[in-house]
Amino acid sequence: MALGVILALGSMAVPARAECPPDALGTSRTLLLSREHARYGAQGTRRLPLAANEVVLTFDDGPRAETTPQVLQALAAHCVLATFMTVGRNLEEAPDLARRAATQGHSLGIHSYGHDHLPGLSAADQIADLERARRAYSAIFRSAPPAYRFPYLEETPPTLRALRENGTTVLSVDLGIDDWQPDDTTQKLSQRLAERLKTFRGGIILMHDANGPTARAMPALLRTIREGGFKVVHLRWAD
């Protein structure tokens, strides 16, 4: 696989390093991935070439008007670039938020159209869901989505075959913070993240920009990453 490393931030529309506050987490570097079928993360056949204490931030289930702007604001304030795995129906409802994320320099992929449990769908319905998600993404960005994450991380053979045929990267995760729990607080999420980072020492982190507690906790979560001595690596896909 062609895998390159480019300078973090580069010419992207985010604050330059000199403009970042001294306590900002920042983005240490960017990994440029080729547009091809590969499977990364704990469920995949490959691991990203990350050093110890390097993390990739990913967000699922957006964009959502009530929460995603808070996440984008916190990331911008800390000069951090992330990857948003978007749900097709939400792309249709909030295309401007997806464009805003891209303008800020973040990368985007798809996370299905309806966020259904794919194993419960027929093969034909699985492919239809994938194609609807691809169309929703392409309608905004005029290009095919470079990456896909399975809803609930439930991989299925029909969808995997389709992703392989169209050269789409499958992006799984290495650690999550279970930020879907209704009683989550900023303190609970920060503590959970600190514990998972201590255990895994880096990797692809899963969070949810569509969840209110996560959006409200973002400044604290970014501080937790920084105070733990971790560095952020941003993923991008070649044109």
Report yes or no on 180 lying in a domain: yes
Q: Which of 19, 52, 20, 69 is nearest to 212 (CA)?
A: 69
In a domain, 229, yes or no: yes
Cis peptide, bond prior to residue 63, ω within 30 of zero: yes
Q: Is residue 112 a part of any domain in this protein?
A: yes
CATH number at residue 76: 3.20.20.370
In a domain, 184, yes or no: yes
What single string gives the DSSP state of each residue in 4-17? EEE-SSTTSSS--G
Give CA–CA dist 190/216, Å, rounded.
Answer: 11
Q: What is the pLDDT of residue 52?
A: 95
44: in domain:
yes
Predicted structure pTM score: 0.92
In a domain, 101, yes or no: yes
206 contact partners, CB below 8 Å, separation of at least 6: 58, 60, 173, 175, 176, 177
Q: For the CA atoms of 35, 163, 211, 114, what is the dihedral angle to 10 degrees?
A: 140
Tally of domains within the chain: 1
Mean pLDDT by 10 residues, the chain (239 residues): 33 48 94 96 90 98 98 98 99 98 98 98 99 99 98 98 98 96 94 97 97 97 98 96
Tell me the residue range of the domain where 202 lies: 37-237
Quick one: pLDDT at residue 113?
99
Please report whether residue 20 resides in a domain.
Answer: no
183 within domain boundaries: yes
Alpha-carbon gap, residue 228 to 207, rounded angstroms: 18
Q: How far apart are CA 20 and CA 208, in angstroms?
A: 25
